[in-house]
Each structure stands twice: as C-alpha cells, then as structure tokens.
C-alpha cells in the first residue's frame, strides 16, 4: 500500500495489482478492510465496500504508512475513516440511539462510535473486500447466499470475524445482509440473539423509512413505497432484543 499512487484511483478503477479474484462478471479487489476490533460490542455490517469507500480507505492507509505508521495502524485508521461517512452516519446513529444501544453501552449516543468510543464498534461488510459486477459496485443481486462465488467469500472472511466476536451484537444494514447473517446462524457461526436485523437501510435515498422508524413521520403521511407494518414489527423486535441484552448485563 505504501507504493500505491493515490492518483491512480481517480480514474474510477482499481490498479490491476489489487485484484484478488475474478470469476465471470465478478471481480474482488483488495482494500484495507482486514482490521478486526476484538473489543467491539457492536458490529455494523454493510454488504461490501463500494469503489468510493475503498478508494478512501486506500488513500488513508497510504497516508498513514507514508507518515511512518505501522501496517496494522494503517488498516485500523483507514477502516474508521472510510466507514459510514456522510448522511448515512446520522441516520444510522439516530436509529441505533432510538432502539437503546446507548443505554446498553453506557454512552450518551452512538455518535461516540465515530468520536471517542471507537473501541466499542467494529465496521465491516458481509463481503469484506470490494466486489464489482461488470465493473460496477455490487448491490446485492444476485444474492450472496445463492451465488457460490460470493457465498465462499462470506464463509471464508466474514465468518472468521464472527468467530472473533462471540459476544458482540451484529447490525446488518439491509435485507441482503440480514439474509447472509441468518445463513451463518444456520451454520452455527452466529446466535440468533446476536443479530439485530430490521433497521431500514440508513442511506439518504431511504429517508422516508428512516423517519417512520424514528417515529418522525406519521403512518398516514407515508407513500405507497413504504410498508409501515414491516417497519413497526422491526422496531418492536429490535427494541425488545436490546432491552433483553440490557437485562442480561
């Protein structure tokens, strides 16, 4: 990574020496998302790093290494720097606060995950390294659990992270990630009570569902694209799971 020219990332493609594997329309590229925080209490799980997130991580790692930092420090810093930036962060922390994660961890807000309490959280993806399909960011189709090439990555890399975090709670971002976590649960790699699934995806494009989850928008004001009953059930289930975790402390 120290020999990487950051300018080579500005053309919208990865340098060929970062290619990990290729099969058919799929390609997997290295970016420094290897770091695992073994002290984490909460694991935030996306589907796979997109090109922008991956290039940000590579630039940050290069910066740390060029300043004399170790490889492990570069991996840690680049992962924190590139994870869940922009509007997605506010939506995510708002929903985590709503379901009671601050009470579970004795912190004022999950915004602290990105400030002075980074040791409490692990940022990761079901597919650890950036996956592209036909040169574009992979977005969940075809499904990870039904595609042997992707399923192998899930079980090879992400499953190992699960084993390193046996007491953490896993928050999947989106139904495709939830499906992957429950598939690992069926293989005995996760427990059901570790999976906090059902949060609307925190992307800006999902603003209406996020607002309804946070009870900032009434059911009557929702568009036909939002299934209020599904969100109501998820909100109730998530709050119950977190309250149960608080009771077990």
Q: What share of the chain is helix, strand, coil (3-state, %, to 5)?
A: 50, 10, 35
Side-chain-side CA neighbours of residue 131 (13 Å):
26
Q: What pLDDT band is residue 53 in, cutting at 50, 70 and 90?
A: confident
DSSP string of 157-186? IIHHHHHH-TT-EEEESSHHHHHHHHHHHH
**Which has the closest alpha carbon to 34: 76, 93, 88?**
76
pLDDT of residue 9: 63
Q: Does 181 sit behind a cis peptide bond, omega within 30 degrees of 0 on the bond before it?
A: no
What torsion do the CA atoms of 234, 237, 243, 246 make, to the nearest 10 degrees?
-90
| For range 137-166, the mean pLDDT | 94
Tell me the three state secondary structure of residue 121.
strand
- CATH number for the domain whose boundaries are 6-248: 3.40.470
The alpha-carbon radius of gyration of the chain (Å, integer) is 18
| For range 54-68, the mean pLDDT | 82
Q: What pLDDT band is residue 73 in, cutting at 50, 70 and 90?
A: confident
4 Cβ contact partners less than 8 Å away, ≥ 6 residues apart: 15, 58, 62
Distance of alpha carbon 12 from alpha carbon 55, whole angstroms: 9
pLDDT at 1 over 60: no
pLDDT of residue 6: 61
Q: Distance between alpha carbon 101 and the CA centroid of its chain, in Å?
A: 16
Tell me the three state secondary structure of residue 156.
helix
pLDDT at 7 over 90: no
pLDDT of residue 133: 95
- What mean pLDDT is reported for the chain? 90
Q: What pLDDT band is residue 20 in, cutting at 50, 70 and 90?
A: very high
42 vs 14: which has the higher pLDDT: 42
pLDDT of residue 217: 96
Q: What pLDDT band is residue 91 in, cutting at 50, 70 and 90?
A: very high
Tokens of 128: 């650890």
| For range 62-75, the mean pLDDT | 81
Q: What is the tens place of the pLDDT at every residue in 212-245? A: 999 999 999 999 999 999 999 999 999 999 999 9
Range list of β-strands (E), the chain:
19-23, 26-29, 42-46, 121-125, 131-133, 136-137, 169-172
Q: What is the tens place of the pLDDT at every residue in 128-141? A: 999 999 989 999 99
Distance of alpha carbon 21 from alpha carbon 28, whole angstroms: 5
pLDDT at 4 over 80: no
Range list of β-strands (E), 138-248:
169-172
pLDDT of residue 11: 63
Q: What pLDDT band is residue 21 in, cutting at 50, 70 and 90?
A: very high
pLDDT at 87 over 90: no
Distance of alpha carbon 66 from alpha carbon 78, whole angstroms: 13
Q: What pLDDT band is residue 72 in, cutting at 50, 70 and 90?
A: confident
pLDDT at 98 over 70: yes
Phi and psi torsions of 139, nearest 5°: -115, 10
């Amino acid at each position: 990574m120290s020999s990487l020219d950051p300018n080579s990332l500005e053309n919208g493609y990865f340098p060929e020496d970062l290619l990990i594997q290729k099969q058919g329309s799929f390609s997997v590229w290295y970016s420094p998302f290897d770091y695992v925080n073994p002290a984490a209490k909460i694991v935030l799980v996306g589907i796979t790093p997109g090109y922008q997130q991956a290039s940000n991580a590579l630039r940050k790692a290069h910066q740390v290494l060029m300043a004399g930092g170790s490889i492990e420090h570069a991996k840690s810093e680049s992962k924190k720097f590139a994870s869940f930036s922009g509007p997605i962060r506010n939506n995510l922390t708002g929903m985590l606060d709503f379901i009671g994660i601050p009470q579970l961890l004795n912190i004022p807000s999950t915004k602290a995950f990105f400030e002075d309490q980074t040791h409490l959280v692990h940022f990761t993806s079901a597919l650890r390294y950036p996956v592209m399909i036909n040169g574009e960011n992979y977005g969940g189709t075809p499904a990870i659990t039904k595609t042997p090439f992707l399923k192998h990555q899930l079980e090879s890399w992400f499953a190992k992270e699960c084993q390193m975090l046996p007491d953490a709670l896993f928050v999947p971002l989106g139904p495709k990630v939830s499906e992957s976590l429950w598939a690992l649960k069926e293989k005995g790699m996760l427990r059901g009570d570790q999976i906090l699934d059902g949060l609307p995806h925190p992307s800006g494009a999902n603003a209406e569902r996020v607002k309804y989850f946070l009870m900032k928008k009434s059911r009557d004001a929702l568009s036909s694209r939002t299934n209020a009953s599904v969100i109501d059930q998820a909100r109730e289930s998530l709050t119950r799971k977190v309250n149960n975790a608080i009771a077990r402390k």
